[in-house]
Structure 1
Amino acid sequence: MRIVIADDHAIVRSGFAMILNFQEDIEVIGGAADGLEAYAMVAKHRPDILIMDLSMPPGESGLIATGKIKEDYPDTKILILTMHDDEEYLFHVLKNGASGYVLKSAPDEELLLAIRTIHQGGMYIHPKMATSLVREFIRKEKDSYTEDPFELLSKREMEILPLIAKGYGNKEIAEKLYVSVKTVEANKAKIMEKLNLSSRPELVEYALRKKLLDF
């Protein structure tokens, strides 16, 4: 594994380089003092992994650099190595493409585990931070569930929606559900309005997303 280390303290870069170069499967090929230098090193060497600190004053921070590097060089995996155990930092860098988050207070064994994990295509989050990540995920899932317009549909509308998506006409749906054609038409209009849809293809796509079609 070819690795670049980005940290504003030269002694920190040297210390981590010594630990990593001692491993048979790891080679540190360069260092950077801020986000701009980290970007340049990645552009030049295309390392397998970039280990990056978040706060590197007065240069560009790792927070900003992570998104730029992942956008332009997606094959380089980014492992955040920082003293910040703030969940906001964690959420931000993960959204911007980081594959791992380790605290500088962690033992050497954890750093090596994180490197090997993300190199194999996985993700590694420091256990202390993983709890915050799970809590946030659960909270957002609850929020999205309560805000989902699908929950606004009536029982009759939820019966009619998949039938429309499957291609049945209004008369066929009316016969299947033992209701009038006007009832079907009225419910269809309400479905389109509640789900903010404007065409049958959009409705089919929505039904597929919701797993309402038992093809």
Structure 2
Amino acid sequence: MPIALKRDIHVADMRLETKRAPLPAAIGVDGIFQGYASLFGVRDACGDIVAPGAFAASLRQRGAANVKMLWQHRAEEPIGVWTTIEEDARGLKVRGRLDLSVVRAREAQSLIHAGALDGLSIGFRTLRAASDPTTGARRLLAVDLVEISIVTFPALTQARIDAAPAFAAAPRLAAANLGQKLARLRMQSAAQSFETKLRRASIALDWR
């Protein structure tokens, strides 16, 4: 039988319930990144397993806009926004953007690029869970997702966050922009050269 568990969102000295996943050292120049904040069916270091559908009701109620992006679970340090949070067959897929006008967000971006910062962690309340008497694992059946933080230490080594498509496309976009600029410069140069030739021809006619 499922065991209903209720815990308040902790503040100050109350314990925050979290699950962590590694963040690769790759992030878009505009602060955009995407990947998985949680994986289904994977037992973590706390002995918990998140079941498929565990986030569904919470996401319907909150939406991505009401799940905060925090620095190290600090409520006083939001560093960006989550633009997409959804469940798929693998786990909790997320896409977010650091607010690079915030000093801490710029620091986070730099640390991620350097490979010094590599974790994501979800902060949540457990609403419904079941205990496995054989393994002792707690199976999380329904949780209220409150926030997802960028953190230092990962726990779910199987989960990875990918570089944002915008980051992957950046070199191609930059090359395309450069090509367009070169084409415009060539056209301007050709036009100037043609204009110079016309002027010389006009001067030559005047002297005749």
Common topology (TM > 0.5): no
- Give the structure with the higher percent strand: 2
- Give the structure with the higher percent helix: 1
